[in-house]
Amino acid sequence: MELSYSPQEEEFRARLREWLAKVLPTLPPKPSPGDWPARRAYDLGWQRMLYDAGYADVHWDASPTTRLIFLEETERAGAPYVGANFVGLLHAGPTIAAEGTPAQRARWLPPVLRGEEVWCQGFSEPGAGSDLAALRTRAWRDGDDYVVTGSKIWTSHAEVADWCELLVRTDPQAPRHRGITWLALPMDADGVTVRPLGTLAGSAEFAEVFLDEVRVPAANRVGAENDGWRVTMVTLSFERGTAFVGEVVACRRVLTELASAARENGRWDDPVLRRRLGRLEAEFRALWRLTQWNVSEAEASGGVPGVGGSVFKLRYSHARQDLYDTAADVLGPAALDLDQSWVLDRLSSLSYTIAAGTSQIQRNIVAERILGLPKGR
């Protein structure tokens, strides 16, 4: 594991830090969390600024270490998060960059980099739970098109998306992990219906998506037909490997803020709370080192994160929940006020042990692929 930075990487860090200090004060106020059209415009506008400054392609054209520096510095500076561009920049984009044809990369990647198109993720399905291989959305070939029928749920940003990274079953007779295909679905195609879902926090960044004989050009298939499970593992390795880097930096900042708030409101006198804060500090330091280890591994293996991302995802999900439970202890009765800092983050943290593969799925991956334990029946 190499944790040091080269002179070129340190120069990149300094140049980025200087640019952020200059442009962040010029940004307009962030829109309301519930105003998704405005949030889309804000997020795409920020991505365009990154593009014009030469930082837009850092998620797939830069080395993993440069990407790590970018995420670390933007989060520390308080720059906008990827927001509506989450799937395009951190899931679909890297997957297309790694698995797409030259024509697919030329069609789909530049609009994402320029902040012109938003992607959503069509993986989860009603009735499949966390078992992604149980998906039942069906696609069959008809000439130059696939015809898709089925439904998806918890589809991130579907209500404002232009494209969807869609998993479909193209061979129902094949074993569960085979017979799956990865398609790029245009969200304005005939037969696509989007129904937003309200979250516990009152926002609506997820939706149900219903597909009624939707025709998708076969040219929109990424990877070979029935090879979608392998392509999906590439997508999920990005999600579990580097997509949470900025969040770790943010959690470490929140931890410092919690300690300050506890000193101000008297909660610091509680030795149990101080122990919790100290343990969390050690936990997030370890997670940051694990992030660097995963990045080093990706650097050595051609840029695609390995199964170490599952170790990170498993521990990070629970650490994040512990962090915001501790925030509730610091806030006391104010933890029931949605307008207080950290309250909405506490509600959203509940989803982390489900999203991007449940903790049970991560434990299975660690047991089988890292520890070499036999698969259960």
> Active-site positions?
239
Q: Which alpha helices (DSSP H) does the chain contain, by range?
A: 7-23, 36-53, 64-77, 86-87, 93-99, 102-113, 228-241, 245-265, 271-300, 308-331, 343-349, 359-365
* Backbone angles phi and psi of 198, in degrees to 5: -80, 140
C-alpha dihedral sign at 278, 281, 286, 287: positive
Cα torsion 250, 158, 357, 355 to 10°: value is 40
265, 330 contact by CB (below 8 A): yes
Burial class (CB in 10 A: 0-12, 13-18, 19+), 4: exposed
Identify the bridge partners of residue 150 per DSSP, sorted by sequence position. Answer: 211
Burial class (CB in 10 A: 0-12, 13-18, 19+), 184: buried
Q: What is the DSSP letter of 76?
A: H
